Chain A
Amino acid sequence: MGLTYQSTGKLANREAFDVPVSANEPVIALAGNPNTGKSTVFNALTGLRQHTGNWPGKTVLQTKGIFIHEGQQYTLVDLPGTYSLLANSVDEQVARDFICFAKPDATIVVVDATCLERNLNLALQVMEITEQVVLCVNLIDEARRRKLNIDTGALTRALGIPVVATAARSKEGLPQLLESTAKVVWKKIKPRPNLVQYIPEVEAAVSLLEPKVKALLGNDINPRWISLRLLDGDITLIKALEKFYGQQKVKSVREVFA
């Protein structure tokens, strides 16, 4: 039968990011702050099967590679290292747009075990866009050396997503990372992220805006997250929405605002 309209429609945006469109070739995004050893994780997973170029239309380096896990090929895309997804810079826009519009089958967020409290900001923001998230607590060897004890079980419970501790330099924990990621890709684990709760005024505004967003844009992109961005006036996201959804959504518009 090939691909249904539904599946091509959902994944069609991936074409704009120069990554495989077929549902049989899962795409995994690698996000993380700078200096978390994200590139070491990327190199350890893909080895020499890498390809570098530019993000389409941007002077930002795009690195992607492939790896094979239990006979299945995966494409791994190394997102620019960023501290947030609030679109303060081109790097952050690129990372946000990829997670938001290319809809990777899973997103691995690499965090530095030695400064979790700062790094978790990014993880929390990614979790607002997609449920398909795995947290990779890297540099665990460094944390051990500094006598920091990281309770991954507590992290899993607090975040609601799979958490794996790794030391990419010595390849420690990488098999477990692949295992968890594959399970998330094939829906054998269904992460239920615990989302950030905002102050009551913000939550009230979100609950009023969210249904309208859902009616206009559907459930493809997390309506709660879009509502939040609209509320904080993120112009770059509005432009990106126009670019990616301009044609498809003209009809449903009338239904909402008639």
Chain B
Amino acid sequence: MSLPSSLGQLVEEAQRLSGPLQNTIRDSIVNSIYTTAESIAAGAVTTGDPERTDWDRKIDNILTSPVWGFPIMLGLLVLVFWVTITGANIPSAMLAEGLFWIEARLTDFFMAVNAPAWLHGFLVLGVYRSLAWVVSVMLPPMAIFFPMFTLLEDSGYLPRVAFNLDRFFKKAGAHGKQALTMSMGFGCNAAGIIACRVIDSPRERLIATLTNVFVPCNGRFPTLIALAMIFVGGSVALSLAGAVATLAVAGLVVLGIAITLFVSWLLSKTLLKGTPSSFTLELPPYRRPQIAQVILRSMLDRTIFVLTRAMIIAAPAGGIIWILANTHIGDTSILAALAGWLDPFAQHMGLDGFILTAFILGLPANEIVLPILIMSYVSGGAMMELDSLAALRQLLVDQHGWTWLTALCTMIFILCHWPCGTTLFTIQKEQHRWRWTLLAVAIPTAMGIILCITVNYLAQGLGLI
């Protein structure tokens, strides 16, 4: 006789004993524990103000109500983006002006010491300029957006969002907790994918992992916001600009969530079949956020962290792009050749070769897609002073023929394309299978290409452009 069978005998004995109680024993045990806990708590807690404790429940009834839950959620989303977009405009312009004034002085200095042109090009027009763009385009929106997001997180609102979205994920055949991992994806997709560990079923965890990239992360938000500010907003009357840009970003986020649900549904109906498992979601009590700490933490943990990472990657990338743009084979630069090769395909998607090149070269981090694009547009070509967002608009529209459709397709592709290097590395580490990592690249990329082509041809066919 070996242990498993003897343990087995013990189990049989237990089954025999619990026989008459069979189906009710677990409930009965849990019930006894609950009633004991309740009576102990009742004996130890006295409340001086019974009215107050019900506040949470009252707020919950409104924030998670079937009628008001969604309008309030959308309203808050729009409010956050509106404050970010209108608030970031002025500091962004001021930062750009200041940083490009410094660039001019740097150029003066290089001229004064008779530095070779390539050194000036590499260091100032390459490295410094991309750094300046990363800082002036990304810092102001982040400094406004992240504290507000952290505030919502701290006050306890985000779990309510998960609660509201739960039934949709259920319907899509996914796990309700995916609403939580998706919310984390707004911060960082790699973090969102690590958060997928909270989902126990491997099937549902995989669905959450593969679809996490459909919500724009920290690295992509500033680019979306910047494009919306200089473009979508810029194409209408000035007084409406902020509002239109806000709606564009909010609309894209909603689109991202819709795509998440759709792809989850598709996966659970085809590749990853199964029924969703249930779970308990506790809504934590509302807490008054510690404002000073929120600002400090979101500054240190997110703003500075994301900005530093972007700068660390942008600096060498800027240099490399400058080299690619200024190394000529025959009479075209390597960058132009690559862009030219990609251009025919990119045109179908409503983009151009340079934009697609920027996305490919931006694989290490989404933060640097826009700086790379600007770099490849500017360097080698006509040198111009980019000292404000208006100048950036001029560069894109007047010199490179962007239309609102180009901007829209670019924003869609920002939302749907392959995950960044860090995220892919994380997926590989969490799932240990190359096929899932490859699928994580293929699904959003295919989605982005299809969407861009559809939008492009639809707009052209309808004569909107």
Q: Which residues does A use to contact B, with CB under 8 Å?
A: 33-35, 59-61, 83-84, 86, 89-91, 112, 114-121, 123-125, 142, 146-152, 154-155, 158-159, 196-199, 201-202, 205, 208-209, 212-213, 216, 227-228, 230-233, 238, 241-242, 245-246, 249-250, 253-254, 256-257
Contact = CB atoms under 8 A, between A and B. Distances in A.
For A124, A242, A253, A254, which residue has the most chain B Cβ atoms within 10 angstroms? A253
B331 interface: no
A87 to B, nearest CB: 11
A109 to B, nearest CB: 12
Contacts of B282: 33-35, 83
Contact of B11 (A149, A202, A238): A238
Interface in B252-299: 280, 282, 284-285, 287
Contacts, number: 151
Contacts of B41: 116-117, 120
B30 interface: yes
B446 interface: no
Contacts of A231: 14, 17-18, 21, 25, 29
Given A91-B198, A238-B7, 9 more contacts: A117-B38, A117-B41, A120-B41, A142-B287, A146-B49, A154-B43, A154-B44, A233-B25, A242-B7
A149 B43 CA distance: 11
A33 to B, nearest CB: 8
A232 B44 contact: no
Given A230-B14, A231-B14, A202 B28 contact: yes
Contacts of B13: 209, 212
B28 A233 contact: no
B21 A120 contact: no
B3 A253 contact: yes
Nearest to A114: B285
A117 B37 contact: yes
A150 B25 contact: no
Nearest to B47: A148
17 contacts: A59-B430, A117-B37, A119-B37, A120-B37, A125-B33, A146-B53, A147-B48, A148-B48, A149-B45, A149-B47, A154-B43, A155-B40, A158-B40, A209-B14, A246-B3, A249-B6, A256-B6
B284 A89 contact: no
Contacts of B52: 146-147
A-B pairs, top 4 by smallest CB distance, nearest first, are A117-B41, A230-B14, A147-B48, A120-B37
A147 to B, nearest CB: 4
Contacts of A116: 37, 40-41, 44-45
A55 to B, nearest CB: 11
Contact of A158 (B9, B11, B43, B285): B43
A254 B32 CA distance: 35
B460 interface: no
B10 A151 contact: no
A225 to B, nearest CB: 11
Nearest to A115: B285
B285 A147 contact: no
B26 interface: yes
Given A151-B45, A159-B40, A230-B11, A253 B29 contact: no
Contact of A120 (B7, B10, B40, B49): B40
A121 B37 contact: yes
B284 A155 contact: no
A89 B3 CA distance: 26
B197 A60 contact: yes
A149 B46 contact: yes
B1 A232 contact: no
B160 to A, nearest CB: 13
Contacts of A213: 10
B2 interface: yes
For B32, B38, B44, which residue has the most chain A Cβ atoms within 10 angstroms? B44
A111 B285 CA distance: 13
B33 A124 contact: yes
B194 to A, nearest CB: 8
B81 to A, nearest CB: 28
Contact of A205 (B18, B32, B197): B18
A232 B10 CA distance: 13
B385 interface: no
B464 interface: no
Contact of B18 (A158, A216, A232): A232
B25 A155 contact: no
B45 A232 contact: no
Given A142-B287, A205-B17, A230 B45 contact: no
B15 interface: yes
Contact of A233 (B18, B20, B47): B18
A245 B2 CA distance: 12
A150 B45 contact: yes
Contacts of A228: 29
A198 B29 contact: yes
A233 to B, nearest CB: 7
B6 A199 contact: no
Given A120-B40, A147-B49, A198-B29, A257 B18 contact: no
A246 B20 CA distance: 30
Contacts of A199: 28, 32
A242 B3 CA distance: 8
A121 B280 contact: no
B144 to A, nearest CB: 26
A121 B198 CA distance: 21
A257 B200 contact: no
B15 A233 contact: yes
A116 B26 CA distance: 23
A71 B54 CA distance: 46
Contacts of A232: 18, 25-26, 29
B36 interface: yes
Contacts of A253: 1-3, 6
B461 interface: no
For A35, A142, A197, which residue has the most chain B Cβ atoms within 10 angstroms? A35
